[in-house]
Structure formats: C-alpha cells, structure tokens
Amino acid sequence: MSAHPPTRGAVPPTSVRGAAMRGVVARPGAEAIEAKGWWIAHKWLLLRRVSQLGILALFMVGPWFGWWVVKGNLASSLTLGVLPLTDPFLIAQQAAAGHWPYREALVGGGIVLAFYLLLGGRMFCAWVCPVNLVTDAAAWLRRRLGLKGGKVPSANTRYWLLGFVLVLAAMTGSLAWEWVNPVSMFHRGLIFGFGLSWGIVGGIFFYDLLIAPRGWCGHLCPQGAFYGLIGKSAMLRVSANRRSTCNDCMDCFAVCPEPQVIRPALKGVGQDHPLILDGDCTTCGRCIDVCGKDVFRISTRFDRSES
C-alpha cells in the first residue's frame, strides 16, 4: 500500500474497526496539527459545531426570547412563517400509524428528503442532530481517559430497531417513538429544563463513554439507520484520493464514528476506486481534519480519480 512504515503502533488493516474501538490512538490528529496548524486540522469539526449550534439557536430564540425565526423542532418546523420542513422519518411513522400527513408536512418532507438524497442522509447525524454533540463528547473523553474495550451490539441492531419503531407505530396508531426520541427530548430539555429528557441524553453519554464506544449513533439509533438508507445514493462523498500517501497512522479510524466505511476506499478492499460509498458515512469530515498526509477530501460519487 505505502512505502511509509506504520507509526504509533498501527494494527493490521483487517482489525481497523477493533483498533478504533479499543482506542489505539489516544490523541488523533497530532501529526495533522503539526503539518497544517490547529485551525485547519479542526476545520470540518468547527464547521459542524457552527452548524449544529446555529440550528439549535434558531429553534431556541423563540421559546427563550420570543423571536420566532423558526417554530417547531427538528421533527417538524416552519421557518419565517413560510418554509415548512418535516423529518421524513416522522412521515414514515405517520404513514405506518395510518395517519396520512397533511399537505404542508408532505411538502416539508419532500424538501428535506431531496436535500439528503443529494448530499447524504447521514449528514443529518453529523451536521444537524444535537445528540451528536453528546456522543462526540463521550468519544473524546473516552480517548482522553484511555478507556478500552466495551460491549458493542451489532451495527445491524439499529435496522431492527428502525423496523420495530415502524411496527410499533402501526400497532398503536401513534408516533410512540417520538415520546422517547432523544433528538426530540434534547429540544424539550433545553426548553423545559431537567427531567426525563436530560436523563435519557445523559444515559446515552454514559453508555457511549463506559459501555459501548459510539454505541448509540453507530449501533442503536433508528433515526440514523433511516437516514443511512436515504444516503446510499447521495451525490456528495468523501474520497481517499491520495491513499497512496497513507502511512497507516490509524487516526482516521480512531475519530470516525463509522470506521468500517473507511477501509474499502483507503485499502482498496472490494472496490477499485477511492470513494466512500457506504450509506453509513456521515460526511463529518473528521478523517480529512486529522490526516497529516491529506489523504481525504470531499468530492462527488462520480469523481473516482486518484492523485
């Protein structure tokens, strides 16, 4: 693969997911910071935080200060009294429950669906979802504390839970999942204060920190599973177009919330191009940030070039 020798105790490519979960790289990105500077080595992370916190702020200024730029929450909202946006996952639950969505919800759902079909379904997870702030914090602290191992459920569990959510909606005729959806509860917790909402969000943090690294977003969340299915044919992709320069430092695997998506593109396993086409890729850009060799970049699914 590369003429460069592995560094910092790299593990064989066949065990990259396990290596990331065990926390082989305690402080990923050190080489990138030295090569590119701190700001460039955190560019995509900072852009995501601006996006996530900015979206939260738009929703919160109404309840907190009476400035109603956006009414509603991430499940269903109305911006400036004109633009409806609806979570397609919510519409799927409504349909399963036997309640046909009203026209405004369908329009809003169509807008959101078109956006994520174009850019990638799980961009919601990395760029919009507030729970990602919690799980990223748990992953960061886990690395800093040197916590290793963990009991991680199968990544397919989220798809079983997705099916269960839709079956539950059909059986009860209600949006039962939305009562305990951590995304919705995060919003309610900010508006109404401490209670069950913060208990569930805190539970996710400690579950990811102490039991299952990246357990919620990477293995259990049915909403993430839904958006992963949407994103399988998305245009926007991460490309390992300079994979020939990889020095096997393992930093990208350490920070990626879905490390299994990297290997086919980076190591050429099962494909002959450098694109990450797996729908589970969140397009978070952290692999770009932490790579001191600039192996990765944002591209399109049609660009299979290497340099």
Q: CATH number for the domain including 272?
A: 3.30.70
| Pair 187, 242 in one domain | no
pLDDT digits (tens, 9 = 90+) for 219-231: 999 999 999 999 8
Whole-angstrom distance, CA of residue 301 vs CA of residue 214: 26
pLDDT digits (tens, 9 = 90+) for 88-112: 999 999 999 999 999 999 999 999 9
| Pair 185, 64 in one domain | yes
The structure tokens listed for 104 are 């405004």
| Pair 78, 63 in one domain | yes
| Pair 54, 184 in one domain | yes
Q: Given 195, 229, 263, which residue is the final one in a domain?
A: 229
Whole-angstrom distance, CA of residue 133 vs CA of residue 110: 27
Residue 3 lies in a domain: no
Selected residue with higher pLDDT from 58 and 189: 58
Residue 19 lies in a domain: no
Selected residue with higher pLDDT from 196 and 1: 196
pLDDT digits (tens, 9 = 90+) for 150-202: 888 998 999 999 999 999 999 999 999 999 999 999 988 888 876 888 899 99
| Pair 254, 206 in one domain | no
Residue 50 lies in a domain: yes
| Pair 83, 137 in one domain | yes
> Which residues make Cβ contacts (< 8 Å) with residue 262, sequence separation at least 6?
16, 240, 252, 253, 256, 276, 287
Domain range for 257 is 236-306
Mean of the pLDDT values across residues 58-79?
94
As a whole number of Å, the CA-based R_g of the chain is 20
| Pair 141, 270 in one domain | no
Confidence at residue 21, expressed as pLDDT on a 0 to 100 scale: 43
Confidence at residue 189, expressed as pLDDT on a 0 to 100 scale: 86
pLDDT digits (tens, 9 = 90+) for 190-208: 888 768 888 999 999 999 9
Q: Which of the four pLDDT bands, split at 50, 70 and 90, describes residue 25?
A: low
Q: Which of the four pLDDT bands, split at 50, 70 and 90, describes residue 27?
A: confident
| Pair 284, 263 in one domain | yes
Q: Given 166, 199, 229, which residue is the final one in a domain?
A: 229
Confidence at residue 24, expressed as pLDDT on a 0 to 100 scale: 52
Structural domains counted in the chain: 2
| Pair 166, 269 in one domain | no
pTM: 0.89
| Pair 209, 271 in one domain | no
Q: Which of the four pLDDT bands, split at 50, 70 and 90, describes residue 12?
A: very low
Q: Given 229, 259, 291, which residue is the final one in a domain?
A: 229
Query: Per mean pLDDT, which range of 10-24, 116-130, 255-269 is the poorest?
Result: 10-24
Residue 36 lies in a domain: no
Which of 187, 209, 210 has the alpha carbon at shortest distance from 198?
187
pLDDT, averaged across the chain: 90
The structure tokens listed for 215 are 């357990």
pLDDT for residue 16 is more than 70:
no
